[in-house]
Structure 1
Amino acid sequence: MEVATNWNTSGTLSIRRLRPTYWLTRYVILRLLGLNYAIAFLVAINQILPLIGSKGLLPVGMYLKRVSNALGSDTAGFMRLPSLFWFWHSNTALITVAWVGFILACLVTAGYANALILVALWVLYMSFVHVGQEWYGYGWEIQLTETGFLAIFLCPLLDMRPFPRRPPPYPVILLFRWLIFRIMLGAGLIKMRGDVIWRNATALYYHFETQPIPGPLSRTFHFLPHSVLRTGVWFNHLAELVAPWFVFWPRLARHTAGGIIVLFQINLILSGNLSFLNWLTIVPALACFDDGLWARILPRRLVRKAEEAEALAIESQSMTNVAWVVTALIGCLSIRPITNMLSPRQIMNTNFDPLDLVNTYGAFGTVGRKRYNVVFEGTMDADTSNNAIWKPYIYKGLPVELNRRSPQIAPYQLRLDWQMWFASMSTPNDYPWTVHLVWKLLHNDPGAIGLFAGNPFPEQPPRYIRAVLYRYSFAKPGNSEGLVWNRESLGLWLPPMDVNDRRLLSFLKSEEWIE
């Protein structure tokens, strides 16, 4: 850390810091970013083939063909949705890219990063985001690409040491603060504009029960006293509408704002399963803290290494120049996202350039008052009425069994479960791939079955598959039946279908999912 020494009036040596430094800040940001990348690529390794592989629910080859036809050529498609998979999109390509990304991300998590590795991670993950269709349509996907792009310019081009001799460029630290400012303020504004229950402080009466995938503590949060839940809403507003304005202030205000934002994200981590969103959001918030704070928290060994690196620091004018060019670029690209943020018709989780360099964010602009869930069920009976023995396909995260406590999933993401949460609030017409899923379940397709917790028909495929819409609600703790959930059936979401169903076959052929 850059310091000056002088003798005070008592004759002892005193140390005075000239300005904040960010050697330890860079170290922590890159490690946590690497962890987020590793989790994201691990999700791809496990789920990408049944989702967008050649035999997946939404095959990537068909998607690229349709984009190319719509835009006029593969070149136009690539310019609009840059991705390596325009050149090679076989199952081997998908898995290879996922594994390469995971290995590189593990290197960064372990402390070994440079600009080239971070460029590779950015390109590889953006390649998935741009062809992942609705499976990759979440705000944290473009948030990861934007965060990853900024991180490229924190590092030297080649030096992979945890504490390289090149200091972190201060303009990039400011860009990370600009990112957390937009993330938090955008989320706060969309809530205030989107739903009255955020304004009257009752949103948390419903949120923990109706959020996409509840966690182990969600039911505990749901049954907290209403006064505590209202306080939680006000803390939400403090973190999203007030704290962001102080991330550029002097040290005490900046540290306080960063602390509030990080504490808020930890609270969200404890209360639900929001994928790696909250872990990722902490990354730019760490730029609020300088080495003076980290030196009090991190092990002395790391602090000493940072001091040694600073003592041997080599200023890089090229890194500084590039950082200012990137800052100017981000400033120009921020005009549309900021205009959107200030608009009464604000939209959330949208990109404004083909490379997702500066995006607009937001979450839970509206909060559902009731929890709906679509459960796929199969039977071996010839009878398709409710008198048949219907066995459910258990999701890995979404509730199905009434006595099963919600598992801890995040920061890992179950992409089928997330999409079925959205689908339960709509109809199959908006989620046609659910019909394709039925077809695969009727054939015991290993990839589709692997997206669920298990196979209720391990010996042979079921004769019929249907999907039932249920309303779920938390059962009160301590009930005599030992229930975690209550539910009521609201009717069929998809009617019973077998492999010879003419409507099913006709629809699958029209979508080119079967010949």
Structure 2
Amino acid sequence: MDGFAAVDFGFAREVLQRGIAALYLVAFLSTLNQFRPLLGERGLLPAPALLEWVAASDTRKRMLNPTLFRRIRYSDRRLVILCWLGMAVSLLVVAGIPQLGPPWVPMVCFLALWLGYMSIVSIGQTFYSFGWEMLLLEAGFLAAFLGSNDQPPPTVVIVLFWWLLFRLEFGAGMIKIRGGREWRDLTALMYHHETQPMPGPLSRQAHLLPRWFHRVEVVGNHFAQLVVPFFLFASLLSWVPEPVEGWVPGPVPQIVGAVAGVIVIATQFWLVLTGNFAWLNWATIVIGFSAIGLPSVVEPAQGDETPWVIDGIPLYWFALTCAVGILYLAVSWPAVRNLFARRQLMNASFNRWQLANAYGAFGTVTKERVEIVVEGSPDEDGAEWREYEFKGKPGDVRRVPRQFAPYHLRLDWLMWFLPLGRSLDDWFTGFLVRLLEADAPTLALLRTDPFAGEKPRWVRAVSYRYRFAARAERKAEGAVWVRTGRKVIMEPVGLK
């Protein structure tokens, strides 16, 4: 740190700007491929119906988060245009082109991404109700103020990224400590790899590791989320202009902060290897680089070239980033209070702009995996039943789970929530109707259509208990999963 300029965090800025833009690219691509059949004009939960309902009441208007579609009437065509524009801007930032100009150019790009994606999240209803949506929005807003290549990053913005990472990690750790007993007795990860929403190709191998290893995993998780985040701010100590008595000068504080960032990054890579959590882990990895300071390759602007400069930062940019810091001081108090509240909120926003949010995940771990399998029959009497295969969630017991993250399979994720004590939501009923209609956009969300585009006569929902096959079972039967306890939870339904 060199006063108001984080001169050693040029590399961190490169990772933050390009990494966050890459995640926006994935988010817009996911929306382009899935929003219309899920939430479009003929979607399972049509966004136009939501907007009409909101428009009918002043109270509801205040409830809806900001979205361009309140000013511009929603249509699937306009949604597609927004997604393509979002992907184009994301690619420009990933390539580093806006960063070659003055700092307001990448700012405009990131604010456009932030507002564009918030316009989608605000009308995305249950399909966009995940914590990583607000995480991406907040990270995109902060990235707008990192500046461009001809000046060092502002210290205040780098510190705000540490504050975001602290809330993300410490909030998740506190949720676990306050949550299920399995996190306190160190047994949570004896179940989690098997019961997580969407296992990956290495999840079974992770689940079959020894019990003592899973206990070490939990201890490591608690250390990484409850202890390490406090050391993210160590680099601030290097901002002290004159070492005080007993203080050790030099790069020690910055090294401590960097080590904290590396620990966060390493633990997140383990989660990437063993699961499919959309861009949650990848976003945390990218933000983790904000703590890693390296010798700067940025040449600060010189006074004779820029008349009004503070620590290499143009005065107008210094003023703007300080204003952002003051804004965060004002809006962060609810998040601070939530971290230490007895009834801690998980993945909650305290303002309409989704800044300074509360984060957290998996306060409890399910110990048994129940999967809902959707079947269809071509026969009037329902003599033969064929399964619909989803892309990510378990189905065929011989199929090895695939790696999809950071891409987000929204339908598959919501299918995981259905057996967890919830009633079969309205969207699920609509989904079954689309299957009966052999609706092509809906079928495109699935891995296989057992009727090759033809309409089934009936569809129904069946539940099974799934568990990973032991090594001997895998060797003998070639199965990845073992499923038992078949139960029909929705009787056959058909179109009149």
The reply on whether 1:65 has 2:52 as its aligned counterpart is yes
2:440·2:453 contact (CA, 8 Å) conserved in 1?
no
The reply on whether 1:454 has 2:441 as its aligned counterpart is no
Supply the AA of the counterpart residue of 1:482: G
Q: Distance in 1 between matches of 2:453 and 2:348?
A: 45
The reply on whether 1:327 has 2:322 as its aligned counterpart is no
Q: Distance in 1 between matches of 2:187 and 2:301?
A: 50
Q: Distance in 1 between matches of 2:421 and 2:78?
A: 34
2:377·2:457 contact (CA, 8 Å) conserved in 1?
yes
The reply on whether 1:144 has 2:136 as its aligned counterpart is yes
Give a deviation string over 1:133-170, Cα, whole Å, max 9, x none: 011000000011011111111125xxxxxxx2132111
Partner of 2:406: 411
The reply on whether 1:256 has 2:250 as its aligned counterpart is no
SS of aligned partner of 2:395: coil
Q: Distance in 2 between matches of 1:226 and 1:197?
A: 13
Give a deviation string over 1:32-70, Cα, whole Å, max 9, x none: 111111111110111110011101111100111222335
Q: Distance in 1 between matches of 2:364 and 2:6?
A: 43
SS of aligned partner of 1:165: coil
Q: What is the 5 A alignment of 1:423-502? A: 423-429=418-424, 431-479=425-473, 480-500=476-496
Two-structure CA RMSD over aligned residues (Å): 1.8
Supply the AA of the counterpart residue of 2:385: W
1:52·1:58 contact (CA, 8 Å) conserved in 2?
yes
The Cα shift of 1:19 comes to 7.9
SS of aligned partner of 1:291: coil
1:349·1:361 contact (CA, 8 Å) conserved in 2?
yes
The reply on whether 1:287 has 2:290 as its aligned counterpart is yes
Q: Distance in 2 between matches of 1:334 and 1:315?
A: 26
Name the stretch that deviates more: 139-148 or 58-67.
58-67
1:427·1:493 contact (CA, 8 Å) conserved in 2?
no
Partner of 1:29: 16
Q: Distance in 2 between matches of 1:494 and 1:93?
A: 37
Give a deviation string over 1:344-376, Cα, whole Å, max 9, x none: 111100101000011000010000000111111
Partner of 2:273: 270
Supply the AA of the counterpart residue of 1:290: G
Partner of 1:343: 341
The Cα shift of 1:210 comes to 0.3
The reply on whether 1:179 has 2:185 as its aligned counterpart is no
The Cα shift of 1:217 comes to 0.2
Partner of 1:209: 194
SS of aligned partner of 1:21: helix
Q: Distance in 2 between matches of 1:29 and 1:484?
A: 38
Q: Distance in 1 between matches of 2:87 and 2:354?
A: 21
Q: Distance in 2 between matches of 1:484 and 1:96?
A: 41
Match of 1:354 among 349, 352, 355: 352
The Cα shift of 1:492 comes to 1.9
Partner of 1:14: none
Change (3 A) 1:73 1:143: closer
TM-score, reference length from structure 2 = 0.89
SS of aligned partner of 1:343: coil
The Cα shift of 1:22 comes to 1.7
Give a deviation string over 1:369-395, Cα, whole Å, max 9, x none: 0011111100012223xxx21111100
2:172·2:225 contact (CA, 8 Å) conserved in 1?
yes
2:6·2:155 contact (CA, 8 Å) conserved in 1?
no
Q: Distance in 2 between matches of 1:37 and 1:112?
A: 16
The Cα shift of 1:73 comes to 6.8
The reply on whether 1:106 has 2:104 as its aligned counterpart is no
Q: What is the 5 A alignment of 1:49-64? A: 49-64=36-51
Match of 2:229 among 231, 235, 244: 244
Name the stretch that deviates more: 401-410 or 419-428.
419-428
Partner of 1:421: 416
Q: Distance in 2 between matches of 1:29 and 1:237?
A: 25
SS of aligned partner of 2:313: coil
Give a deviation string over 1:4-51, Cα, whole Å, max 9, x none: xxxxxxxxxxxxxx9852222211111111111111111011111001
The reply on whether 1:168 has 2:162 as its aligned counterpart is no
| Structure 1 residue ranges, 4+ long, deviating more than 4 angstroms after superposition | 307-314
SS of aligned partner of 2:259: helix
Match of 2:32 among 42, 45, 53: 45
Match of 2:396 among 398, 401, 411: 401
Q: Distance in 1 between matches of 2:187 and 2:264?
A: 21
The alignment-based identity, stated in percent, is 39
Supply the AA of the counterpart residue of 2:463: L
Supply the AA of the counterpart residue of 2:278: S
Q: Distance in 1 between matches of 2:59 and 2:190?
A: 49
Change (3 A) 1:490 1:338: farther
Change (3 A) 1:20 1:165: closer
The Cα shift of 1:309 comes to 6.2
Q: Distance in 2 between matches of 1:350 and 1:356?
A: 9
Supply the AA of the counterpart residue of 2:17: L
TM-score, reference length from structure 1 = 0.86
The reply on whether 1:232 has 2:217 as its aligned counterpart is yes
Q: Distance in 1 between matches of 2:422 and 2:323?
A: 47
The Cα shift of 1:428 comes to 3.8
SS of aligned partner of 2:26: helix
SS of aligned partner of 2:446: coil
Q: Distance in 2 between matches of 1:243 and 1:459?
A: 53
Q: Distance in 2 between matches of 1:310 and 1:207?
A: 51
Q: Distance in 2 between matches of 1:127 and 1:103?
A: 17
2:169·2:226 contact (CA, 8 Å) conserved in 1?
yes
1:85·1:93 contact (CA, 8 Å) conserved in 2?
no
Change (3 A) 1:41 1:19: closer
Partner of 1:506: none
Q: Distance in 2 between matches of 1:19 and 1:60?
A: 43
1:24·1:290 contact (CA, 8 Å) conserved in 2?
yes
The Cα shift of 1:308 comes to 4.9
1:121·1:148 contact (CA, 8 Å) conserved in 2?
yes
Partner of 2:242: none
1:428·1:494 contact (CA, 8 Å) conserved in 2?
no
The Cα shift of 1:315 comes to 2.6
Q: Distance in 2 between matches of 1:468 and 1:476?
A: 24
Q: Distance in 1 between matches of 2:414 and 2:79?
A: 21
The Cα shift of 1:88 comes to 2.4
